[in-house]
Amino acid sequence: MTSINKHVTLIRNPGTAFQLDKFTNININRSAVEHRCTGYASRRSIKKQQQAAWLMKVISLIDLTTLSGDDTHARVRRLCRKAINPLNDNLKNGLSIGSLNLSTAAVCVYHDMLEFAKQTLEGSDVKLAAVSTGFPAGLSPFPLRLQEIQYSIDAGADEIDIVISRRHVLEGKWEALYDEVKAFREACGSAHLKTILATGELGNLSNIAKASQVCMMAGADFIKTSTGKEPTNATLPVSLVMVRMIRDYYEQTGYRIGFKPAGGVSDSKTALLYMVMMQEELGLRWLEPDLFRFGASSLLGDIERQLDHYSSGYYSASYRHPLA
């Protein structure tokens, strides 16, 4: 894969004043968006050595996630160890990549698992992310949502994935959404704020575009598609709309905002389509973990199978590549 200058300094988005005129007239043409998305696969064919390189890059962009009611300390420990060492030794030797020290970007868990996850990740470069603010519905009392953020930071979270109040979008209360996200950003302090739009519940692409702009104005470091709990999660059309808003914001302010598709990206082929989209729409600088993440769990297992096939010429059974 083409070398990326990841040492370009990323200046954190401070947000801007609320500006209704910047987004109120946005009207997204779904047919045009879908037509654009159909072209990503046909314009670029990534095969063999190049595909293996891109898939290893994908691994470095994954937020390895477990957000289940039956999470246990043992499951989180295995997940963290998988994040630190995502490929087995035989595969690393076959690919001659032992010196890369490849790991996923982060582990994402509920608050209750943070302290245990932090202990397991100690000494690694893997970030620790927590879902917060009444995840996934975001309907708990506002003061409690702010306290959740503080609790997670105190427990060691480097990044906070918050959920917005969808009703603000559906009712067109854009300034209320801005004030909410701005308060979350202030509560995060130095921890990075990833705002989850829950796009499957926002009604249409125009609402998604407007919500993206408002969250960036309020100081979001990332905008994220989904909680993974909605009936419809990350899709290419939704993602294209969001990254176009990121591009507009960068052109207007000079600040780079990250993007995280979550839910629905479970195989290598789909992940590569997202990589192509990010390169074509935003450029190579956005193919680094400080600006692009996949919220996923099963994706890693499929990538392992594809890399195993590249190394050996055979597809291995999925049970040979357990998530944790």
pLDDT at residue 4, as a whole number: 45
Least confident of 67-71, 91-95, 123-127, 129-133: 91-95
Amino acid at 66: T
Contact 215, 197 (CB under 8 A): yes
C-alpha to C-alpha distances, 59 to 33, 64, 75, 166, nearest whole angstrom: 27, 9, 20, 31
* Low-confidence winner among 93-102, 174-183, 214-223, 312-321 (lowest mean pLDDT): 312-321
Q: Identify the active-site residue in 161, 290, 302, 308.
A: 161
161 catalytic per annotation:
yes
| Spatial separation of the C-alpha atoms in residues 171 and 322, rounded to whole Å | 44
Selected catalytic residue, list 221, 260, 290, 308: 260
Which residues have CB under 8 Å from 257's CB, separation 6+? Answer: 13, 216, 220, 221, 222, 223, 246, 249, 250, 291
Running DSSP on this structure, what letter comes out for residue 171?
T
Q: Is 260 a catalytic residue?
A: yes
Which pLDDT band, with edges at 50, 70 and 90, does 75 fall under?
very high
* Greater model confidence, 38 or 242: 242
In the prediction, which pLDDT does 100 show? Answer: 83
| Cα–Cα distance for residue pair 89/78, rounded to 1 Å | 16
Q: What local confidence, expressed as pLDDT, does residue 320 receive? A: 64
72-76, 86-90, 282-286: which has the minimum mean pLDDT?
86-90
State the average pLDDT over residues 112-121.
95
pLDDT band per the 50, 70, 90 thresholds, residue 139: very high
Predicted local distance difference test score (pLDDT) of residue 6: 52
Whether residue 274 is predicted with pLDDT greater than 50 in this model: the reply is yes
Residue 248 has pLDDT above 80, yes or no: yes
Task: Give me the long-range contacts of 188-192 (CB less than 8 A, separation at least 24).
Answer: 188/149, 188/153, 188/160, 189/153, 191/149, 191/152, 191/153, 191/157, 191/158, 191/159, 191/160, 192/12, 192/158, 192/159, 192/160, 192/221, 192/222
Task: Tell me the pLDDT band of 1, cut-offs 50, 70 and 90.
Answer: very low
pLDDT-derived band at 3 (thresholds 50, 70, 90) equals very low
Name all domains of the chain by residue range, CATH numbers in brackets.
20-320 (3.20.20.70)
The whole-chain average pLDDT of the chain stands at 91
Half-sphere CA count of 124, side-chain side, radius 13 A: 23
Query: Can you tell me the mean pLDDT for 63-75?
Result: 93
| Catalytic residue from among 224, 290, 302, 308 | 224
The confidence score (pLDDT) of residue 93 equals 85
Residues 89-106 have a mean pLDDT of 88
Residue showing tokens 């949502």: 145
Residue 104: per-residue pLDDT? 96
**Residue 167: which pLDDT band, with cuts at 50, 70 and 90?**
very high
User: For the residues 196-222, what does the mean pLDDT come to?
Assistant: 97
